[in-house]
Structure 1
Amino acid sequence: MFQDITTLLLDPKAFKDTIDLFVERYRDMNISVVAGIEARGFIFGPPIALAIGAKFVPLRKPRKLPGKVISEEYELEYGSDCLQMHVGAVEPGERALVVDDLIATGGTLCAAMNLLEQVGAKVVECACVIELPDLKGRERLNGKSLYVLVESH
């Protein structure tokens, strides 16, 4: 079964309530960077970043960002992929939140955390709307805190 957030996005009140739940959690955590994973992390990340006074940093697929980038390759259940981030977008010591719509096997979130940690950021937490706990992605996060709104079995 395919899990998707489209129906949430079609309901303005539910979408706003979802953003508000994340904002309430992160408002007082001194987060300076919200890193959103392409593409659905771009839906949730920017409004969270604006509301908590943080910058939004897009983590993109290869060859989508102009200028110098750093890369992190990772394994998926069906092959491999890569995330990239602009050089200089995140400074050493910044406190970062990683945002995506869903965690399945955890490979994408791990790659995102690795990118941020490569440049000296401290990843405070990962945040997703949906978790598929049967795929055990949380276990791959090496103890990093994961906040989810909905578990789907």
Structure 2
Amino acid sequence: MSDPELATRLGAMIRDVPGYPQPGVVFKDITPLLADHDGFTAVVQALADAGRDDAGRPVVDKVVGMEARGFILAAPVALALGAGFVPVRKAGKLPRETHAVGYALEYGEATLEIHQDAIAPGERVLVVDDVLATGGTLAATRQLVAACGGTVVAAAVLMELAFLPGREAAGDLPLTALLVVDGA
């Protein structure tokens, strides 16, 4: 499936939910996509490509997914790449010693945490999430990976909300977005 074909298919399977989780926000519901085996498989493969070199070989040691929908996408991407999966969770959800970073969301503030030993020094990391909006979650996750001694080599997202500054926050990090949404 080509990139435009995949984007068209994704656009048809992702539903807008206005006013959720609060007025003024349009939530992107990915559950119809997740329920479609062929669509979900295509997404996992396309996201995994961000962790491969031009010859198709994996170039990452770990795949990091952020709570909660990032988990759903990142875990099968890690399997596809033969890499480990590392969850980045909301504050207080991990049972052992963590690194923590506070950050701004599109509609609030939050803190993310990672186990201190989740990524070994020098490991290469692909960050996978469902949506790139303001870039706060991505920036916080990069800080957490760095605190462990790892290096984020690329990021891949299902959707990029191009009307928000997420791509700017990514800086020079290679970023793959399977679907670019231009308007709210």
Report the TM-score range of the alignment, normalised by the length of the smaller protein. over 0.9
Q: Does residue 1:15 correspond to 2:37, yes or no?
A: no
Answer yes or no: is the 8 Å Cα contact 2:135–2:170 preserved in 1. yes
Deviates more, 1:17-26 or 1:41-50: 17-26
Counterpart-to-counterpart distance in 2, 1:21 and 1:53? 15
Q: After TM superposition, which residue ranges in structure 1, 4 or more long, deviate above 4 angstroms? A: none
**C-alpha deviations, 1:95-129, integer Å up to 9, x for none?**
00111101111100110011001222110111100
TM-fit CA distance, 1:142: 2.5
Asked if 1:69 corresponds to 2:69, the answer is no
1: CA distance, partners of 2:50 / 2:168: 22
- TM-align CA RMSD: 1.2
Q: Secondary structure at the residue paired with 1:115?
A: helix
TM-score (norm 2): 0.79
Corresponding letter in the other structure for 1:31? V
Query: What are the Cα deviations for residues 75-112 of structure 1, in whole angstroms up to 9, with x where unaligned?
Result: 12333111100111101110001111011111001100
Report the Cα offset of residue 29 of structure 1: 4.0
Partner of 1:124, secondary structure, is strand
SS at match of 1:44: helix
Unaligned runs of 5+ in 2: 1-25
In 2, the alpha carbon distance for the partners of 1:121 and 1:2 equals: 32
Instruction: State the TM-score, normalized to the length of structure 1.
Output: 0.94
Aligned length: 153
SS of alignment partner, residue 59 of structure 2: coil
Determine the C-alpha separation between the residues in 1 that align with 2:110 and 2:36. Answer: 32
2:118 maps to amino acid: A
Trace 1:34-113 onto structure 2 (pairs within 5 A): 34-113=63-142
- Structure whose CA Rg is larger: 2
Check whether the contact 2:130–2:158 (CA below 8 A) recurs between aligned residues: yes
Instruction: Report the CA distance between 1:61 and its aligned residue.
Output: 0.2
For 2:116 and 2:50, the matched residues in 1 are separated by 29
- Cα deviation code 1:37-73 (max 9, x no counterpart): 0001110111111121111000000111111111011
